[in-house]
Structure 1
Amino acid sequence: MDNNESDVESPGCAGPNRPAIRTFVSKMKYLFTWHVLKTIGLGQVLSVLICGTAVTCQYLAERGVETPMLQSFLVYTLLLLIYTSILAFRKGDESIFGVLKSKWWKYGLMAFTDVEANYTVVKAYQFTTLTSIQLLDCFVIPVLMVISWIFLKTRYRPMHFVSVAVCLLGVGAMVGADLIAGRDQGSSSDVLLGDCLVLISATLYAVSNVCQEYTVKNQSCVEFLGMIGLFGTLISGVQLSILETKAVTAVTWHFEVYLLFGAYAMCMCGLYSLMPVVIQMTSATAVNLSLLTADLFSLFCGILLFHYNFSGLYMVSFVIISVGFIMFHVVPTQVPTIAFQTCSSNEDEQTEANTGGQMKRIEEVNTL
């Protein structure tokens, strides 16, 4: 009897744990799929590209070159030459003229937002410290989540909020490591103004990234990059002529400076080209979480190239941010495809119209 009772009870005792085990196993299987691993890997490639821009900017600053708008102008010009040229050879509604005819003001606003986001964050370095910028720049993530929730109808689960908190904890560890290592660099001439500029930049980046996510998931990456290249070149060119004419003429141009400008432009062009692809695969929020490791890559390069002091907290923060980013991908977000819904509704309306017409004809036949 005892053996029989134990045989009967053991499945019952194990029963409540089985759904949890199955859920955990299914999540692990999803986490280690090629799609998720590729997303994580590409996110770190984006971080490396941002690290490349930071290193080249540091070298330019050491040579007395402070021309952020000129650097942006070169990047947008590259996008113009590559992607706008591709649009120029297309025909119909997908051609450059077809896109400009119907969406020019939308892409103009997106480009303006992107240009000003880049400019304000660089400008903030003149007024506040690196620590403040690193902390306040994370404001882009909650703003992204709110805007995505409202406009893209993205639905986050508790795991996503926990993972974001873990990533921000890693950023806090990184800032603490900066303070310990004595890297609280930057100006402190007007901290309040600098902090406000960082918050403005983070908000503009969030708006730009949400617009980018909507565009690349409903249109195409080439169209987005081509229009951003076109309008970004125009807007940054105007600002360059107004704000940085004296700074550009004051630059001592030689081979190293040309090389650094070229390296910066190539890294940024690669970043702009790859980022829509990764956003198309995941979301703007996930991409920005992956970019939190960019500061750490820059620090590691700084330790090797610029002899920064090393702190063990850098490795701790890298692990924490990586864990948070992986946690974010354990549970997929729910995002309705707006274009698909529109197509489906049109198809449903057409089906209902056809069905209604058939029923009407049947009724007429029956009447006869």
Structure 2
Amino acid sequence: MASGNAGRIIMKSACYVVAVSQLSGDITADESAHPGDEHRSILHVGRPFQMKYNEASVYHNRGCCRCPKMYLDQTNFFYIQMKRYSTGMIIRLSLYILFAVLPLAFTSCSLTEPKIDDGVITSEKEQVRSSTALVANKLAELQRGDNVEILERQENWLRIRVPGNDPIEGWINARHVASKQVVDQAWEIFNQARDVPAQAVGALKRETKLRLSPDRTSEENVIALLPSGTRFEIIAKTRTERKREARADAGEGNDSTEEGPIRYDTWYQIRLPQEFVIRAGWVYSYYVELKIPDEISALESAGRKFVAWQSFGSVQDEESGEVHHYVILEKTIFKPDAVADFDRIYTVVWDPIGHAYNSIYVESNIRGKLPMKITKLQGGRASLALTLLDKENNPSTVNYTIRLENGRYRMEKARSKR
């Protein structure tokens, strides 16, 4: 190829054909050349067009030709120059270009299209489809945690590329893909609360949105959709004032606390099992069911509900096997307090002789915030740290000790520190 033509492909009727240079440049076709020539290549487009394939786009009559998109990969190199060959030779070479070269351009084209974002598959399994149509070919199956490149967003769909030795391009529902940037933010939430002990265990009653923050006024903080039945640890709880523009949608119902004209939404900060790509975030409490251990579920008193529970030790029972001792935090139902998480401490230990729970400590008429932190029994002693609030909602740390003396447990308040 002459150096003057490097990086440019020129088709002037059938007299000159230069196809698929590996150098970046322009592709032009000019039907004005040799206007009297009767030997026209079947590749001749009939109108001037220009293509800058280093920009991965096609322009035809000044309009963007999006379907199909034709991109040229730098690995495809083909160069032909014809000068006044016979009509048969022209047709044969044109057919070769049509069926040999152009398919390579179309198949490798999309692999060089620039991505607009990186994504991570959040669902357990999901199909890559050939289109967004109701009936479409299944191109591949992706697993939770697979990385993809996002090429285009179209309403509820994403056009993606699956990187690898044999890259695949197709469509996937956007609900199954999280932006890599969002995933990184969710991991920051997880790392910040990595050492916080589980306060309770919950499960979703239906599909629910996992969010970066306890706010449902927009969809910008949505990380992923968690399926019904998903179990998780609850590590924090909060209430936020409901904005007037916020309203229940298909994934969130109504679990507000009302104080006159002000309404509050209740949220749980959760920690997901290890098999999940995203390990932490916030969920709206309306579709969360607390999974209270069977052995203490009957201890929930009338007019109160369990908020949190932690075991500080266990004992062997001949009939029931290993049974745990618990510190339980409760809150009065419908009590108009949008700040405190609990208002009662209730500690029980299992009696292996009487085969029943005995209460060793009860403290009511308090106001506190999660989390509670327990150091389990060692040498017959355990400790508990709680954050309690005064009337002005100022927090203070209150410590408790649990001791085993002469075969009986005792619990008492140790000291308070502002």
TM range (shorter): under 0.3
Higher relative contact order (CA 8 A, sep 6+): 1
Compute the TM-score of the two structures, normalised by the length of structure 1: 0.20
Which entry has the higher C-alpha Rg, 1 or 2? 2
Structure number having the greater helix percentage: 1
